[in-house]
């Protein structure tokens, strides 16, 4: 399944030079708790594939990889490998995410093993866990010790990254690694603007060196601090290495606070524009690693439809938070797109929508408004076909695809190939939800 993805200053591209767009889910918050595996049964990947998705962000934890200092759990890594291979067998590309929240499960979060926690405190519990980044001294001290590499704990984390890359480097489905989920420091340090250019950039440079040594064909997904998810500026420098992807998260702060989506108050459009400006400055492709519904927000389907339409407009790849078909709900997040039995939650439907998974040309316009004709416009380039996914879950028994002057053909129940003559300046593709001939 490996397709030789590379990055230019704007897009992830395949070996044919086509722009690649990714759609999928984080799998899953279940990995935050023992036995630290995202899924118990890989059959659930069939459901993601049936929606036309082509990617997952697969969570792993340091505690699962290195439960005791210097002892790497290769049985755990073998089970992670088996999940990645099962995803690939279903056409799902895998971004391996080294996940953490609040540094460690010992502090009410997840990520670091208990032996790496150098400061003790009362663990966070429940939906307000995020506040412990600001108010819990043990969380602040633990992060500070990690970024300073006290007692070699940051060095040991990188050793766990090394072991994971070694375990997965010949799995074709794995396209890259997200080196550190939502990296944090205390708020006073963040306010100075020194954290991201200093300790965080140093960690990422070390990860780049590991990638270049062990698995040079893979992409690296680099996150700013999580406050960027709410429109705050980032000071993360461009690191000048090949095949780096900018991978922030985006959440609608007012909707989370009010537990209700109010369109005129939404912070999502502002935050997305801020992130797009940062992407332009960095000259890296954009991949939104997380967005979605937290804690049962009212109006959740309208929120997701609005966010997906904006992401489509800018040809943004994404993995929604999160696909968790289990009864394990870490800290009562109530954020899974499915119920424990796999049945759909109200905000799933807007996520399953057409997208160009491979675009043979340069993107121009994408309008995916739910009540209008779906429209894609691009400047054709090269001899390869554009691949347009139209999920059966969205199109029903069929739909009509129009693209004047080009060859349009269905090659499956949810996949369209478009071959455009190179002499054309523009190709405009339109989809109407009505049975195809």
Residue 241 has pLDDT above 80, yes or no: yes
CA 249 to CA 400: how far, in whole Å?
A: 34
Domains and CATH numbers, the chain: 20-352 (3.20.20.80), 364-432 (2.60.40.1180)
CA 420 to CA 406: how far, in whole Å?
A: 5
In the chain, pLDDT over 70 holds for what percent of residues? 98
Sign for the pseudo-dihedral over CA of 282, 24, 383, 360: negative
Beta pairing, strands 427-432 & 400-402? antiparallel
Number of Cβ within a 10 Å radius of residue 405: 11
Query: Do 404 and 428 meet the contact criterion of CB atoms below 8 Å apart?
Result: yes
Q: Hey, what's the torsion of the CAs at 175, 218, 100, 38, to 10 degrees?
A: 30
CB neighbour burial string for 142-172, b if at least 16 within 10 angstroms, e if fewer: bbbbbbebeeebbebbbbbbbbbbebbeebe
Q: What is the pLDDT of residue 427?
A: 95
Q: 71 exposed, middle or buried (CB, 10 Å; 0-12, 13-18, 19+)?
A: exposed
What kind and span of H or E run contains 278? Answer: helix 268-282
Pick from 321, 398, 399, 312: nearest CA to 356: 312
The residues near 320 (Cβ < 8 Å, ≥ 6 apart) are 24, 25, 26, 290, 291, 292, 304, 337, 351
Query: Do 59 and 99 meet the contact criterion of CB atoms below 8 Å apart?
Result: yes
245 three-class SS: strand
Question: In which band, very low, low, confident or very high, does the pLDDT at 437 lie, cut at 50, 70 and 90?
Answer: very low
Q: How many CA atoms lie within 13 A of 315 on its CB side?
A: 22
Q: What is the pLDDT of residue 252?
A: 97
CA 129 to CA 102: how far, in whole Å?
A: 8
pTM of the model: 0.96
Residue 67 has pLDDT above 60, yes or no: yes
| 97-147 pLDDT, tens digit each | 999 999 999 999 999 999 999 998 889 888 889 999 999 999 999 999 999
CA 80 to CA 83: how far, in whole Å?
A: 5
Query: Do 204 and 122 meet the contact criterion of CB atoms below 8 Å apart?
Result: no
CA 359 to CA 54: how far, in whole Å?
A: 14
Based on its alpha-carbon atoms, the radius of gyration of the chain, rounded to whole angstroms, reads 21
Q: Hey, what's the torsion of the CAs at 302, 30, 99, 350, to 10 degrees?
A: -20
Beta pairing, strands 23-27 & 415-419? unpaired
Residue 436 has pLDDT above 60, yes or no: no
Q: What is the pLDDT of residue 2?
A: 52
Between the alpha carbon of residue 366 and those of residues 215, 283, 349, the distances in Å are 34, 21, 19
Structure tokens at 77: 């890594």
325 three-class SS: coil
Structure tokens at 92: 């799902």
Query: Do 348 and 358 meet the contact criterion of CB atoms below 8 Å apart?
Result: no
Question: In which band, very low, low, confident or very high, does the pLDDT at 1 lie, cut at 50, 70 and 90?
Answer: very low
φ/ψ region of 321 (left if φ > 0, alpha if ψ in -120 to 50, else beta) reads beta
Query: Do 284 and 9 meet the contact criterion of CB atoms below 8 Å apart?
Result: yes
Q: What is the DSSP letter of 242?
A: S
The residues near 286 (Cβ < 8 Å, ≥ 6 apart) are 245, 246, 247, 248, 275, 276, 279, 314, 316, 317
Question: In which band, very low, low, confident or very high, does the pLDDT at 423 lie, cut at 50, 70 and 90?
Answer: confident
| 135-158 pLDDT, tens digit each | 999 999 999 999 999 999 999 999
> What residues form DSSP beta bridges with 386?
418
Question: In which band, very low, low, confident or very high, does the pLDDT at 226 lie, cut at 50, 70 and 90?
Answer: very high
Residue 396 has pLDDT above 80, yes or no: no
Structure tokens at 295: 């804690």
Residue 361 has pLDDT above 90, yes or no: yes
Query: Do 390 and 376 meet the contact criterion of CB atoms below 8 Å apart?
Result: no
174 three-class SS: strand
Mean pLDDT for 355-384 is 93
Q: What is the pLDDT of residue 435?
A: 53
Q: What is the pLDDT of residue 4?
A: 87
Pick from 255, 241, 257, 171: nearest CA to 206: 241
> What residues form DSSP beta bridges with 287?
317
| 152-210 pLDDT, tens digit each | 999 999 999 999 999 999 999 999 999 999 999 988 889 899 999 999 999 999 999 99
Write down the mean pLDDT value for the chain: 94
């Amino acid at each position: 399944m490996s397709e030789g993805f590379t990055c230019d200053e704007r897009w992830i591209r395949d070996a044919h030079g086509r722009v690649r767009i990714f759609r999928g889910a984080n799998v899953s918050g279940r990995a935050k708790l023992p036995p630290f595996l995202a899924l118990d049964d890989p059959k659930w990947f069939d459901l993601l594939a049936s929606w036309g998705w082509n990617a997952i962000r697969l969570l792993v934890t340091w505690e699962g990889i290195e439960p005791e200092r210097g002892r790497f759990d290769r049985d755990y890594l073998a089970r992670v490998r088996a999940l990645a291979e099962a995803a690939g067998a279903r056409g799902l590309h895998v971004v391996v995410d080294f996940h953490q929240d609040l540094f460690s499960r010992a502090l009410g979060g997840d990520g670091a093993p208990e032996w790496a926690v150098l400061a003790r405190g009362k663990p966070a519990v429940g939906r307000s866990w995020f506040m412990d980044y600001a108010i819990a001294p043990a969380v602040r001290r633990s992060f500070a010790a990690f970024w300073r590499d006290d007692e070699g704990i940051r060095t040991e984390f990188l050793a766990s990254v090394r072991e994971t890359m070694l375990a997965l480097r010949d799995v074709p489905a794995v396209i890259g690694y997200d080196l550190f989920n939502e990296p944090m420091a205390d708020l006073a340090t963040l306010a100075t603007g020194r954290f991201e250019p200093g300790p965080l950039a140093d960690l990422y440079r070390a990860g780049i060196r590991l990638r270049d040594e062990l698995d040079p064909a893979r992409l690296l997904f680099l996150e700013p601090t999580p406050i960027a998810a709410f429109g705050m500026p980032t000071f993360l420098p461009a690191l000048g290495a090949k095949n780096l992807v900018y991978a922030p998260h985006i959440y609608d702060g007012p909707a989370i606070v009010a537990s209700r989506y109010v369109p005129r108050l939404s912070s999502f459009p502002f935050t997305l524009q801020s992130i797009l400006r940062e992407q332009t400055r960095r000259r890296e492709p954009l991949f939104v690693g997380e967005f979605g519904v937290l804690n049962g927000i009212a109006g959740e389907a309208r929120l997701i439809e609005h966010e997906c339409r904006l992401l489509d407009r800018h040809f943004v790849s994404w993995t929604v938070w999160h696909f968790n078909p289990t009864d394990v709900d870490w800290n009562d997040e109530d954020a899974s797109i499915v119920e424990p039995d796999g049945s759909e939650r109200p905000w799933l439907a807007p996520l399953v929508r057409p997208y160009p998974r491979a675009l043979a040309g340069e993107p121009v316009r994408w309008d995916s408004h739910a009540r209008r004709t779906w429209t894609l416009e691009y400047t054709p380039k090269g001899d390869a076909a554009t691949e347009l996914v139209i999920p059966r879950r969205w199109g029903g028994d069929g739909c009509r695809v129009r693209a004047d002057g080009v060859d349009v053909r269905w090659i499956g129940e949810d996949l369209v190939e478009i071959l455009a003559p190179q002499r054309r300046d523009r190709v405009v593709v339109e989809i109407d939800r009505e049975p195809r001939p």
